[in-house]
Structure 1
Amino acid sequence: MRRVSLRLGRAGAALTAVALALVPGTAFAQRGGGSSQGSTTDTGGGREGTSLVSRVVYSGATAGTQGGGGGDGGGLQPVGDWTPPACWYEPRSAAEFRDYVETMYDDTVNTPGQHSYAKSAVGMFRNEYKDGTYENYNLDKKDEGNWWVAVRDEDRSMEPEAQACDRKPFWVENGDPVPVENAITPEVLAELAYSRVELPATEVTLRPEGNTKVNLPTWAWLDKARFKETSVTAAIAVGGLNIQATTTAQPVSLKLEPGTPDAETYPASGECAIDDDGSIGEPYARGKADRTPPCGLKYLRSSGDGTFELRATVTWDITWTGTGGTGGDLPDGTFGNEQAVTVQEIQAINR
């Protein structure tokens, strides 16, 4: 579950630490689940209770929509140092921003036993937008622009990247550029969708299944019906902004790691490329016993009383398209699982 909350920036360290913590009923932007059906998972939100949450809505292959795998599916792990945004900026109407600040103020000052520094901090923040730098939350300009506020991915709230969006809510006139990095755009939406892509469990089919034998080639393949193009769409419609982006993951290869150095892989690199028909590897069939598997492995010693942990990792090529003809590539992603393999000695009887 991903909790996304409003960050108030440098309105004083006490305000950021205290005001957010004191707002009751902090809303959650769920990753999957909820009341969604099939592949139309809605994980966005607006104003829920007394908290502003992200207005980005996700649909497609998000958590809970892949089925199967016993819950072993998971998200993309980017190749390299890149990660999706941990925080970003979204627009809010003047009325919505006013309601949030006023409710937060009332809740803070009216909470029994509340510390005076918390009341002071939230009061200073309120005054800036009500009677200070701005007047009455710019309600008289409600049709001329929007407030822009920072939200963050609470699953990554302790990462330095989540603290980067530290600017206080600011006003932007319609048509003017938003003067911050990570202001919501089709590309940012595509990057957010990247982190919501849910992939099927990477459990390869092996032949022989169950137990394999020392020095016996074992065939490996993936079900092409499950390992196919997968996509998530992220969209936002708020404050006159109506944009979306679709991030698509396409499987390109399967990496086999036997779980012991006493093994060989086919091909020798352990990297099985995707075939023209979308399959990875080739199913074993009667009559292929003397052939070398196009994708597989051979164990050179027994696993004894235990097992070897075979790790199968699929690499996915990631592209995106968005509003206004935008689009491009995002870093490749991987996802893998481990499965136990028992390797036995071939027993021979001498007479």
Structure 2
Amino acid sequence: MRRRTVVTAGALAIACALSVPTTAFAKGPGGSQFDVEGSNQQDGGKTLESRIVYSGSTGGSHGTRSSGFTPVGDWSPPACWYEPKWTPDEFAEEFQKEWDIPHSSGVGEAHDLAEEHYKNGQPYKDFNKSETGKGMWWDAVRDRSREESGDPAAFACDTATFWVENGETPAVKNAVTPEILAQLAYSRIKVPDTKVTLAPKDTTKVNLPTWAWLDRATFKDVSVTASLDVAGLNISATTTAKPVSLELEPGTSDAETYPASGECRLNDDHSIGEPYAKGDAGRTPPCGIKYLRSSGDGTYKLRATITWNVTWTGTGGAGGDLPDGTFGTTQDITVQEIQSVNR
């Protein structure tokens, strides 16, 4: 048995130069052999092409993503990664199925090159069937949404399908580890679409402080676990997002926020702000807004953005921090002039 994680530069150059009329084939032996994706979920959160299973606050069994949970800064979860995909028999079957194409327009040359690489002993012999039970074939997986949006990062995993013995970790960037699983779990976190409670509700008056708060009961930590359990590899990671603050943007410059920064921090009981109670009319709200001008015949778009602190723990005691995430929603606020009666 011979183990290789990266093909030769010559094979890569030849394969990349070929024009192949099939969407299933990507790059020949110089790159991922198959057009695989990482977000087509079914069967309890397991992808069709990926063996990673997601559970927890994923927005349902299909692992759909939050529409707006956005990392702070330039960081983003992996758009592609490598994971164990096939046993020798499975890879042989997949290989033959995907390479069942005519020997024309240079495709035959690519086919022959790939057969030499995986079947004829240069460097692999008969898809490593003699090593059955001792390892698996690893291949690239792409995040479908990132791929469809044309994100170049989704195409960065261009190392050829490679063999890894059980218990070994390949020296390839973005090969699945607990930390990579934690980052993938991050991209599938679904946070609640929490609407801020206001007093007065929806309609307020000019120069009247409006109280804003989020109850502890509807403002909880959320987490997603990503796990991979195949022969020779059993790892998992749980990524947890904890709400830490609420930022209020009034939707107009003719307003003041409480506190002045507009950022309301988490209370000791994990709530934010304070519910309005009878008798509080003369108090300044710990979290709220005061509009200085009427919204006229329209409304102001109050935007409430929650910041979530994100951490992870994984197999073997691994763990750490990931970038904070934010999620914002808007709600319409009508601001009226206070009517006075002249005698």
TM norm structure 1? 0.84
Larger CA deviation: 202-211 vs 294-303? 202-211
Aligned residues: 320
SS at match of 1:199: coil
CA–CA separation in structure 2 for the residues paired with 1:145 and 1:73? 36
| Counterpart mapping for 1:165-314 below 5 A | 165-314=157-306
CA–CA separation in structure 1 for the residues paired with 2:298 and 2:105? 62
CA–CA separation in structure 2 for the residues paired with 1:218 and 1:309? 14
Judge conservation of contact 1:73–1:202 (CA < 8 Å) in 2: no
CA–CA separation in structure 2 for the residues paired with 1:192 and 1:347? 55
Quote how far apart the aligned CAs of 1:54 are. 1.0
Judge conservation of contact 1:18–1:118 (CA < 8 Å) in 2: no
CA–CA separation in structure 2 for the residues paired with 1:197 and 1:216? 37
Deviations 1:185-227 (A, max 9, x none): 0000000000000001132111101211110000001132121
SS at match of 1:74: coil
Quote how far apart the aligned CAs of 1:339 are. 1.0
Which residue number in structure 2 is paired with residue 148 of structure 1?
A: 138
| Structure 2 residue 58 is matched with structure 1 residue 62 | yes
Question: For residues 247 and 17 of structure 1, do their structure 2 counterparts lie closer, same or farther at Cα, with a shift above 3 Å needed?
Answer: farther
CA–CA separation in structure 2 for the residues paired with 1:104 and 1:98? 10
Judge conservation of contact 1:311–1:337 (CA < 8 Å) in 2: yes
CA–CA separation in structure 2 for the residues paired with 1:173 and 1:154? 28
Question: For residues 233 and 95 of structure 1, do their structure 2 counterparts lie closer, same or farther at Cα, with a shift above 3 Å needed?
Answer: same
CA–CA separation in structure 1 for the residues paired with 2:163 and 2:233? 15
Which residue number in structure 2 is paired with residue 137 of structure 1?
A: 127
Equivalent in 101, 122, 142 of residue 95 of structure 2: 101
Judge conservation of contact 1:130–1:137 (CA < 8 Å) in 2: yes
Judge conservation of contact 1:202–1:335 (CA < 8 Å) in 2: no
CA–CA separation in structure 1 for the residues paired with 2:327 and 2:37? 30
Aligned alpha-carbon RMSD (Å): 2.7
Amino acid at match of 1:44: K
CA–CA separation in structure 2 for the residues paired with 1:172 and 1:26? 19
SS at match of 2:99: helix
User: Unpaired segments of 5 or more residues in structure 2?
Assistant: 1-6, 27-32
Amino acid at match of 1:144: K
CA–CA separation in structure 1 for the residues paired with 2:66 and 2:81? 27
| Structure 2 residue 8 is matched with structure 1 residue 12 | no
Deviations 1:98-149 (A, max 9, x none): 121111123x34xxxx964445534532442112521110101123322211
Which residue number in structure 1 is paired with residue 114 of structure 2?
A: 125
CA–CA separation in structure 2 for the residues paired with 1:204 and 1:13? 56
Equivalent in 36, 42, 45 of residue 43 of structure 1: 45
Question: For residues 190 and 28 of structure 1, do their structure 2 counterparts lie closer, same or farther at Cα, with a shift above 3 Å needed?
Answer: closer
CA–CA separation in structure 2 for the residues paired with 1:230 and 1:87? 24
Quote how far apart the aligned CAs of 1:264 are. 0.3
CA–CA separation in structure 2 for the residues paired with 1:292 and 1:17? 68
CA–CA separation in structure 2 for the residues paired with 1:63 and 1:349? 52
SS at match of 2:243: strand
Question: For residues 224 and 143 of structure 1, do their structure 2 counterparts lie closer, same or farther at Cα, with a shift above 3 Å needed?
Answer: same
CA–CA separation in structure 2 for the residues paired with 1:294 and 1:14? 65
Amino acid at match of 1:12: C
Judge conservation of contact 2:38–2:143 (CA < 8 Å) in 1: no
Question: For residues 191 and 127 of structure 1, do their structure 2 counterparts lie closer, same or farther at Cα, with a shift above 3 Å needed?
Answer: same
User: Unpaired segments of 5 or more residues in structure 1?
Assistant: 1-7, 36-41, 66-70
Question: For residues 156 and 29 of structure 1, do their structure 2 counterparts lie closer, same or farther at Cα, with a shift above 3 Å needed?
Answer: closer
Judge conservation of contact 1:222–1:280 (CA < 8 Å) in 2: yes
Which residue number in structure 1 is paired with residue 4 of structure 2?
A: none
Quote how far apart the aligned CAs of 1:13 are. 5.2
Amino acid at match of 1:59: S
Judge conservation of contact 1:76–1:194 (CA < 8 Å) in 2: no
TM norm structure 2? 0.85
